[in-house]
Amino acid sequence: MFREHLASDDNTPMCTLLGMKKILLIAIFIMSSAENVTPKSCSRFWDTSSTKPKLPAISIGTVSPQSDPDWIEPFPPFKIAGNLYYVGSKGLANYLITTSQGHILINSDLEENVPLLRASVERLGFKFTDIKILLISHAHWDHNAASDTIMKLTGAKYMVMEADVPVVESGGKTDFQYGNVPASLYKPTKVDRVLHDGDEVRLGSAVVVAHLTPGHTKGCTTWTTKVQEAGKTYNVVIIGSPNVNPGYRLVNNGAYPQIAADYEKMFRVLKSLPCDIFLGAHGNYFDLQTKYARLKDGALEAFVDPEGYQKYVADKEQAFKNELAKQRAALSRSQ
């Protein structure tokens, strides 16, 4: 999401210019800090004959505005369960679903994160160039600003929910809330496949289902899939975003008249989904750091949290209802 659910509700974008030195340090950190993984090959990103990382040949371009240091702070890549892996930063969540026919990546994030993301994928022993499909949680720059770069590096096909396609292809300019905010814009990116509610994305043995959960953006997408671990099958839910950002108008919103009804639809969908493994577009949705610590300590089912999922959705629905009531009351007083 666009700066969602941080410790502070301050929603004023800031610009952070990361120099090449910082990018190199990110890559070095992530290559040295991954836990419990055995790389098959990191040669395309990491020069094993020296201590110097090899950056992608494609220019990263204009760096993105930044509002939370966690978004670019490296986090050890790790296996969640089955063929599902976490390859994101501390604050921005990316997921790799691996198959014998190539891989699916969920979220591209910021341009600054591309070296980190590539290093994470390859530290786990997979080829970054084997990514065949790129998906996103929703069309806000912190989840999709680097899509064009990743597509050029990998040749991946870009698949986006229909209502978010105009935003993606305009580089954020048609977003109902942030279209006129320069800090939120990114390189316009052509979508290869337009998705609709309930569509399946298939690659090899993997099947990922797109669920339209609108409100946060018009095409906000929650992804579900199934993974197997130790003879068990788990339902995975990756929430797009249930958050009502500061400044969102839930009543009399000329740019998004049905926004409140869409949030209500989103919560109905989320409550209907069977969930064992609870994930989301940001690590703080599902308490990434606590669960990762348990995983390191040997809790193989650390991310199995159906109760946590239900509580999170219920809490977010109540927060939405409170904000809607507040805005309706303010409108009534002004009339």
Tens of pLDDT, residue by residue over 228-273, are 999 999 999 999 999 999 999 999 999 999 999 999 999 999 999 9
On whether residue 36 sits in a domain, the answer given is yes
Strand blocks (E) in the chain: 78-81, 84-86, 95-99, 102-106, 131-135, 157-161, 193-195, 200-203, 206-212, 221-229, 232-239, 277-280
Look up the CATH number of the domain holding residue 257: 3.60.15.10
* Helices 114-123 & 20-33 angle (0-180, nearest 10): 20
On whether residue 9 sits in a domain, the answer given is no
> In the predicted model, what is the mean pLDDT of the chain?
85
On whether residue 8 sits in a domain, the answer given is no
Ramachandran angles phi, psi of 307, nearest 5°: -70, -40
On whether residue 250 sits in a domain, the answer given is yes
The domain in which residue 123 lies consists of 20-334
Residue 116 has pLDDT above 70, yes or no: yes
Residue 20 has pLDDT above 60, yes or no: no
Is the Cβ–Cβ distance between 104 and 135 less than 8 Å? yes
* CA–CA gap between residue 92 and residue 73 (Å, rounded): 9
Tens of pLDDT, residue by residue over 76-103, are 999 999 999 999 999 999 999 999 999 9
* CA–CA gap between residue 289 and residue 102 (Å, rounded): 28
Count: domains in the chain: 1
Residue 185 has pLDDT above 60, yes or no: yes
pLDDT at res. 4: 39
On whether residue 188 sits in a domain, the answer given is yes
10 Å Cβ neighbour count for 7?
A: 8
pLDDT bin (cut points 50, 70, 90) of residue 334 is confident
Sign, CA dihedral 252-7-220-182, equals positive
Tens of pLDDT, residue by residue over 277-294, are 999 999 999 999 999 999
The arithmetic mean of pLDDT across residues 183-205, rounded, is 97
On whether residue 13 sits in a domain, the answer given is no
pLDDT at res. 332: 85
Residue 21 has pLDDT above 60, yes or no: no
In the sheet that 277-280 helps form, which strands lie side by side, from edge to edge?
Answer: 200-203, 206-212, 221-229, 232-239, 277-280
On whether residue 1 sits in a domain, the answer given is no
pLDDT at res. 67: 65
Residue 151 corresponds to which tokens in the numbers above?
Answer: 């597509």
On whether residue 273 sits in a domain, the answer given is yes
pLDDT at res. 296: 85
Alpha helices in the chain (DSSP H): 20-33, 114-123, 141-144, 147-154, 165-169, 259-272, 288-296, 306-334
Query: Which segment of 51-65, 133-147, 169-183, 198-212 scores lowest on mean pLDDT?
Result: 51-65
- Its pTM stands at 0.82
* CA–CA gap between residue 317 and residue 45 (Å, rounded): 42
Residue 29 has pLDDT above 60, yes or no: no
Sequence-distant (6+) residues with CB within 8 A of 272 are none
